[in-house]
Structure 1
Amino acid sequence: MTGDPHKISFRNVSKVFGEGANAFTALKNLNLDIADGEIVTVVGPSGCGKSTAMNIVAGLTEVSAGECLVDGHPVSGPGPDRGVIFQQYALFPWLTVRENVAFGLMLQGMDKQERNARADHYLELVGLGDFGDAYPKTLSGGMKQRCAIARAYAVNPSVLLMDEPFGALDALTRVRLQDQLLDTWSKDRRTVMFITHDVDEAVYIAHRVIVLAARPGRLQQIIDVDLPFPRTEDIRLSPEFTAIRNQVWRAVYHRDETAAA
């Protein structure tokens, strides 16, 4: 036991790229705790360090100062406890959908029958149960992203790190995948850190919205989303949703909360 009640913690995290006159501070003194089973979305202007923060949790980027903890342990590199989903699907075109989902399990040494059974389970979970034998080229963009999500789930991470995973999709598909993500989360309650530029998306799926400010990247505001789960279309249209969305917009643009939306 580490005594740390948080799933993810940033402790005075700073990240500087480059040296001397070319140095750029992507993050400065970030302090943030994310609870086990919580969905947090991260928003802010370009250059505020959203993706840098996620890559630090993923172990893809080292901190320049401070420390990032997962389950109370310092992050020292990538690990199977953290699944990463990017905007680009990065599916292997020569593998079937099932084989793509099972790829990480194969690397772990799991036998073929077991990994295919697990892959099929997660394909069912994301609504692709009938497409295991299909190849990526036959899938729509939304289906490819669901395949990528199933692949991340298959290795059984306790943390999902999602960097604008729906950003390249049309509006209707994006809404459907937001609902799919929440439906999947309701079944296993994994911790989710979700990067987005879409304020409506940020509010709809999250327990809390983390707003970062740019130059240097730093914590601007944390906004609680006091809306019930499961989230529905009626919630999107509610005055409570609108009020929170407007609060996030004002925070992103550094406006006083009493200013007009």
Structure 2
Amino acid sequence: MNSKISFRDVVKTFPLKDTDFTALGGVSLDIADREFVTVVGPSGCGKSTLMSMAAGLEEPTSGSILVDGKPVTGPGPERGVIFQQYALFPWLTVRQNVEFGLKIASIPTDERRRRAEQAIDLVGLGEFADALPKMLSGGMKQRCAIARAYAVNPQVLLMDEPFGALDALTRVQLQDQLLRTWSQDKRTVLFITHDVDEAVYLASRVIVMAAGPGRIHGVIDVELPYPRTEEIRLSPEFRRIRNDVWTSVHHQDQSTAAA
């Protein structure tokens, strides 16, 4: 497998008053170029910590994280990061928010505008390019955040529960929007979620994590064709894979569940 992202025996500890808390206890994982991988697991299993380290926002205590064979030593333009909170500037329009990272990177004005408009059109916000965030719904704000990440042309998208705060219908709509966008450019995606259905619907592989300390409990292949459709979501094969993931997450051994 041609690995785009590699986690090699990654350990992360945090100091507490009298001891250290081990959030991740030796995680090793390879994600292929252009692969869409989702990560699920119980609260406290280190999903977001894993994402933060891949983004370069946290450093591993030991082990290494590589992108294209190069160690991650901090944030970089090759990695776009999207969180559950939209983090939009309320005084800037959709276009200005999407252009922000390009402006920081000193991209010339004409090129900045072209790339921003392309990203805005990609997520279906063309009619709202001049709107302020207060005029947008929650789903539209998240699409703006996704467009901002896409505009800087990252090779990797790191998404930490980006649809977690949205209502069920909007969440499904944005899942489909994300897959349409991904099918056009096939960036490598690492997507954290608590939602088992979402994990199965989006991914080619689901990584199931366990807690106490955080580690990989299992890897489940999702052998469903793209593009994903409502028919696939309602199919017996989808239900079978979903049940496998659900069982792996919620029927972990007693020591894992209690940790």
TM bracket, shorter-chain basis: over 0.9
- How far has the Cα of 1:255 moved from its partner? 4.9
- After the TM superposition, which residues 1-261 of structure 1 pair with which residues of structure 2 at under 5 Å, given as runs? 5-18=2-15, 21-255=18-252
Distance of 2:182 and 2:209 partners within structure 1: 25
In the TM superposition, residue 19 of structure 1 has moved relative to its aligned partner by: 5.1
Could you tell me how far apart the structure 1 residues matched to 2:111 and 2:64 are? 37
Query: SS at 2:18's partner residue?
Result: helix
In the TM superposition, what whole-angstrom CA distance separates every residue of 1:94-132 from its partner, at most 9, and x where no partner exists?
111000000000001112222111111111000001111
Aligned equivalents of 2:186, 2:2: Cα separation in 1: 16
CA distance in 1, matches of 2:4, 2:154: 12
Q: TM-score, normalised by structure 2?
A: 0.96
Unaligned runs of 5+ in 1: 257-261
Q: CA deviation at 1:215?
A: 1.0
Residue identity opposite 2:6 in structure 1: S
**What amino acid is the match of 1:210?**
I
Which amino acid is the alignment partner of residue 5 of structure 2? I
Shift of 1:21: 2.6
Corresponding position of 1:259 = none
Structure 1 residue identity aligned to 2:61:
S
What is the TM-score of this pair, normalised by structure 1? Answer: 0.95
Aligned length: 253
Q: Distance in 2 between the 1:219 and 1:92 partners?
A: 36
Separation (CA, whole Å) in 1 of partners of 2:250 and 2:142: 30
SS across alignment from 1:21: coil
Deviation at 1:82, TM superposition (A): 0.2
Whole-angstrom distance in 1 between the partners of 2:157 and 2:194: 18
Shift of 1:253: 1.6
Q: Amino acid of the residue matched to residue 130 of structure 1?
A: E
The amino acid of 2:126's aligned partner reads G
Runs of 4+ off more than 6 Å: none
In 2, Cα distance between equivalents of 1:78 and 1:175: 30
Shift of 1:189: 0.2
Q: Is the 8 A contact 2:86 2:142 kept in 1?
A: yes
Using the TM superposition, name which of 208-217 and 105-114 deviates more.
Answer: 105-114
Unaligned 5+ runs, structure 2:
254-259
> Do 2:210 and 2:252's aligned partners in 1 also have CA atoms closer than 8 Å?
no
* Cα shift at 1:23: 1.3
